Chain A
Amino acid sequence: MTDAALPVTERAVERFTEAYLRSLGAEIEKRGRQWTVTLPADADTALELDGDVLEIVSDSDEVDEGVIAISPEAPFVERMLDESADRTPIGSLSLTQDQFELKLPPWITGGTVEVVDGSFTPYYDRRALCALFHVGIETVSEYQTEELHAVAVDLNDHEERPRLAETYLDLAEDDQRDPSEGRQFDEQTLGDAIETANEVLESEIAPMVRDTRERATRAAEVELDEYRQFVQQRREEIDEELSRLNDRIEDETEAIDAATEQAERVEALRKRKELQSELDDRRAELDDLTEQIERNFPEKRREVRERHDLTVRMRPVSATSVSYERGDLILELTTGDATVEKSYSYAIGVGVMEEPSCDRCGRQLTWENPLALERSHFIGDACCGD
């Protein structure tokens, strides 16, 4: 999984604008940072440009009236992006060895072993889905993240191909290279592939989801805790109120007994009745609170949960069928005195597919533990080198 969002720089916007307008068949006449643009009458777009002047600026407020600003947040740029994003979400391309130089892994290049010669023999064509997914994490209250992820999965073995995703993103950015089309998806294949990609995506955003959930949980717990304290406090208050009410009822009872006049007695009786009803209310409230405590605040929990629950939305926005060659990379390696030939499983756009380890101790070879040669043994320079 790879973060696929691009920083919206002036340069990126300028490049995109030119490429998109040209794809629509526009004529662009450049004079420094000002372009005069005309779109063909039958161009398939809602944009209308007929000798209009566009100007590359850093801030869209900078342009003169009548000139269309091209800047990171300019309305015209946003319209173009919206239109283009929806236009062709599905496509295909094919990676072949004549487009790519052989890419050696850091565990070879980082070490002392010199690659004298390398040749790649493709054995079969593989296909992968490279897809962009919007991932949004929402809570009703606070946290919101929107990200764009690139996922590549092989259609054959359903394995993830992270390095292929990177190659694919680089390729999309590189306007010098001219990749060729591959094989288009049919609906069934694409549906299955998206399902696999969903799995990969879910497991890979899991840490992020977990972090977000932990934060939300803490917030929810705090809220629940505050409520618990409030209930506790209220219970103590009610206890006090109850004892005060009891005292006052006792006082009124005494007043009733001691009353000499009827009116006085009636007044005390009425008062006692009022107090008694207030006492009953408080008792009911106390019972309710006690029950809540015993049942661990089910309603409040529901309320808090509703507020803090997370929704993770995943939406595929583009899908590319990427055909790539897979085969053997045969390397001639030397350390000066010895030359050895070694073959690795390799794929165009992915690189060496294996994760080899030290012949002697079995530690994996990495850029920190690069390959070293000892006679014909392939060892790690850090673990077993001298």
Chain B
Amino acid sequence: MKWWKQMSRENLVEVEFRHEDEDALLADAGESSSLVEHLLSVQANRLQAGQPDSELRSLSHLDEENVKLLEHQVDAAHRALFEMDGKALLADEVGLGKTIEVGMILKEMHYRGTDDAVLILTPAQLAQQWQAEMLEKFGLDFTCNYDDDFAGFDAHDHVIASIDTAKSDRHRSTVLARDWDVLVLDEAHYVKNEDTDRYELLEKLSYDYAFFLTATPIQNDVTDLYNIISLLRPGLFGTREAFRNYFVNKSQETLVNRNELQNRLRKVMIRNRRDETDIDFTPRNVTTRTFEPSPAEKDLYQSVTDYVRTAYGEDQGQKLVLMTLQKEVVSSPEALKQTVERQLDVEDGKVVAHADQLNRILDCVDAVETPTKLESVQRITSEARERVDKGRVIVFTQFRATQQKLIETFADQGYTTHPFHGGHSSDEKEEIVERFEEEGGVLVSTDAMNEGRNLQFCNVMVNYDLPWNPMKVEQRIGRIHRIGQEREVYVFNIALEDTIEEYVLERLYHKIDLFQQSVGELSEILTRLEETGGNFEDEVFERLVSADSEVELENDFDAMAIDLQEQRDLADKLEDFNKGVFEGFDLGDSDD
């Protein structure tokens, strides 16, 4: 007698074991049978016992407060997972939320326990955006290669990294040594060429599931498709020669056998079109208010700019501090003062370079009585107090000292105020946002807000100072202008005439129509720019310090604007081109 049978004797509940239908099976013994048919019987039994498995089971675990899913996104995630066996090219047109689709897929994999090791590769400037979005919208916690505690690709199980970091000599071998469960590749068209380092890295990576994202899978010609898809599904298109022979008309370089191409692509590629989805954004109003600085402010700006140029000319190692000063001078005297005092406050005995210039800056700071921007922001908030629900306004600044000054000023004027910065714990942040929703008033936020809160209950925001990186501006606006926002959105930029802010605003941002671009479109432009040159902020700074005259400065910024415009045109052109190629291809929702 086995123990479990014995135990059941003494128990309130008895267990009876029954062996059934053995004779029926035994009766078939000895007969000859086909192995193929037998294995089919085995499979049939297994399928009979299984559950229909074509539902996104994690969906019910998502917080609708954090992410609003659209039908085409759910469909795409579903198809990528269940119909494409977890290897898919997500090629929606720009702005349809491919990141959300991947988030859903990863959430589902997490739910099913198939996400032990996940690697997301992105262009450098998108890595942190991905990290924030996965956490905020899906509760998925990734380590990013820009995190302080990033300890290598073998040290974390869920990693978001810039693709160039992953392929660098330092990390390459650990990235390749690992068997990843899931690989996500954003902006997959940058891995187009079969003989780049990036392509080689991708080809050697070991993974079970892969999701590649791009709105423009074709960069030059249709063979780009061959390259991307061969990474995902080796063999789907046969050899490169066979692909070209069959699908490309050699004399005209045009596409032939479109139906067959579509049939094969449908196994691996999903492309939703904007005009077929129900994405709907309310209008966005952007107003830039430029003011003439007071004489004291002009002096201050000039003294800081002079100092920055001199100091940078002598020691480029100080770049970060100097950049900060240049940004602070247009934010608030308070912000600037702190940094300058810290510069002067070095150990005894050491000589501070240009102490006289720094002291002169401090004198100029003291000479500013009421900053022009501080007056103008109050005009916006007081208008909002009368016309907007609970007078809710979000004011963004990059600096804590400016934030404090703003909070004090608003509080003095009788506003309900809410400071929000990176120092808060995530519970505190949630509380602050809740209180802001309930009580209304003014929320003054440093850019720590980027790590993601939804504020679509508010529709007025002020850029008290402007980040030089357009992505950061778009992220600010994205806090309130998102799916779920039901009202028109008002964005106010405040700038002082003849300052760096005015240049960046007027010459750069407006040239690329920044304030009307989606994150997707912007990232495309900026990634393109980075591919050809360098970091956006650096370029702004270099131009500022190296120009010898006002005219030269203007010319420099115009040249940069032309670069941007060019990249934008190219991005648009590519989008149109891809639209053309995939026109008439049914690679979207299966039911249309």
How long is the Cα–Cα vector from A190 to B22 in the complex, in angstroms? 10
Query: Looking at A81, A90, A301, which has the most chain B CB atoms within 10 Å of its CB?
Result: A90
Extra A-B contacts (12), CB below 8 Å, given A16-B40, A317-B45: A4-B46, A5-B46, A10-B82, A72-B54, A88-B41, A91-B37, A132-B42, A169-B46, A202-B2, A217-B11, A311-B15, A315-B22
Chain B nearest CB: distance from A89 CB in Å?
A: 6
A23 and B53 in contact, given A5-B46, A12-B47, A224-B12 (Cβ under 8 angstroms) = no
- In A265-320, which residues have CB < 8 Å from any B CB? 301, 304-305, 308-320
How long is the Cα–Cα vector from A49 to B50 in the complex, in angstroms? 26
- Identify the 5 closest CB pairs spanning chains A and B, nearest first: A91-B38, A7-B53, A148-B49, A84-B44, A85-B44
A194 lies within 8 A of chain B by Cβ: yes
Closest to A14 in B: B83
Contact of A8 among B16, B20, B32, B51 (CB under 8 A): B51
A72 and B43 in contact, given A90-B29, A304-B12 (Cβ under 8 angstroms) = no
Contact at A88–B33, with CB atoms within 8 Å? Answer: yes
Chain B nearest CB: distance from A82 CB in Å?
A: 8
Contact at A314–B17, with CB atoms within 8 Å? Answer: yes
How long is the Cα–Cα vector from A190 to B263 in the complex, in angstroms? 48
Contact at A9–B4, with CB atoms within 8 Å? Answer: no
Contact at A9–B53, with CB atoms within 8 Å? Answer: yes
Scan B23-44; emit 1 where CB is below 8 A from any A CB, else 0. 0011011111111111111111
Contact at B12–A85, with CB atoms within 8 Å? Answer: no
- In A217-255, which residues have CB < 8 Å from any B CB? 217, 220-221, 224
- In A143-182, which residues have CB < 8 Å from any B CB? 146-148, 169, 171-173, 179-181
A337 lies within 8 A of chain B by Cβ: no
Contact at A89–B40, with CB atoms within 8 Å? Answer: no
Closest to A182 in B: B35
Scan B506-537; emit 1 where CB is below 8 A from any A CB, else 0. 00000000000000000000000000000000
Chain B nearest CB: distance from A263 CB in Å?
A: 59
Contact of A316 among B13, B22, B36 (CB under 8 A): B22
B342 lies within 8 A of chain A by Cβ: no
A213 and B49 in contact, given A88-B34, A172-B39, A319-B25 (Cβ under 8 angstroms) = no
How long is the Cα–Cα vector from A190 to B11 in the complex, in angstroms? 35
A371 lies within 8 A of chain B by Cβ: no
How long is the Cα–Cα vector from A171 to B31 in the complex, in angstroms? 22
A187 lies within 8 A of chain B by Cβ: yes
Contact at B49–A147, with CB atoms within 8 Å? Answer: yes
Scan B47-67; emit 1 where CB is below 8 A from any A CB, else 0. 111111110000000000000
Chain A nearest CB: distance from B552 CB in Å?
A: 61
Closest to A207 in B: B4
Chain B nearest CB: distance from A180 CB in Å?
A: 8
B241 lies within 8 A of chain A by Cβ: no
A66 lies within 8 A of chain B by Cβ: no
Contact at B85–A13, with CB atoms within 8 Å? Answer: no
Contact of B12 among A73, A203, A308, A317 (CB under 8 A): A308
Closest to A148 in B: B49
Chain A nearest CB: distance from B545 CB in Å?
A: 53
Contact at A9–B54, with CB atoms within 8 Å? Answer: yes
Contacts of A213 in B (CB 8 A): 8, 11, 13, 15
Contact at B16–A301, with CB atoms within 8 Å? Answer: no
Residues of A within 8 A of B (CB): 4-13, 16, 19-20, 23, 32, 57-58, 62, 72-73, 80-93, 132, 134, 146-148, 169, 171-173, 179-181, 184-187, 189-191, 194, 198, 202-203, 206, 209-210, 213, 216-217, 220-221, 224, 301, 304-305, 308-320
Closest to A147 in B: B49
Contacts of A308 in B (CB 8 A): 12-13
B275 lies within 8 A of chain A by Cβ: no
Residues of B within 8 A of A (CB): 2, 4, 8, 11-22, 25-26, 28-54, 78, 82-83, 85, 263, 266, 590-591
Contact of A312 among B16, B45, B52 (CB under 8 A): B16
Closest to A131 in B: B25
Contacts of B30 in A (CB 8 A): 184-187
Query: Looking at B17, B46, B590, which has the most chain A CB atoms within 10 Å of its CB?
Result: B46
Contact at B22–A6, with CB atoms within 8 Å? Answer: no
In the complex, 21 of the A-B residue pairs with CB atoms within 8 angstroms, ordered by the A residue number, are A8-B51, A10-B82, A11-B85, A58-B590, A72-B52, A82-B48, A84-B37, A84-B40, A84-B41, A87-B37, A89-B41, A91-B37, A148-B46, A202-B17, A206-B4, A220-B12, A305-B13, A310-B13, A315-B20, A318-B45, A319-B29
Contact at B50–A23, with CB atoms within 8 Å? Answer: no
Contacts of B25 in A (CB 8 A): 89-90, 190, 194, 316-319
Contact of A90 among B8, B28, B48 (CB under 8 A): B28
Chain B nearest CB: distance from A47 CB in Å?
A: 13
Contact at B38–A309, with CB atoms within 8 Å? Answer: no
Contact at A185–B29, with CB atoms within 8 Å? Answer: yes
How long is the Cα–Cα vector from A304 to B12 in the complex, in angstroms? 8
How long is the Cα–Cα vector from A23 to B30 in the complex, in angstroms? 22
Contacts of B14 in A (CB 8 A): 305, 309-310
Contact at B12–A221, with CB atoms within 8 Å? Answer: yes
Contact at B33–A4, with CB atoms within 8 Å? Answer: no
Contacts of B43 in A (CB 8 A): 6, 16, 19, 84, 172-173
Contact at B52–A11, with CB atoms within 8 Å? Answer: no
Closest to A220 in B: B12
Contacts of A92 in B (CB 8 A): 33, 35, 38
Contact at A203–B2, with CB atoms within 8 Å? Answer: yes
Chain A nearest CB: distance from B30 CB in Å?
A: 5
Chain A nearest CB: distance from B451 CB in Å?
A: 36
Contact at B42–A184, with CB atoms within 8 Å? Answer: no
Contacts of A318 in B (CB 8 A): 25, 38, 41-42, 45
Contacts of A169 in B (CB 8 A): 46
Closest to A137 in B: B15
How long is the Cα–Cα vector from A11 to B86 in the complex, in angstroms? 11
Contact at B15–A8, with CB atoms within 8 Å? Answer: no
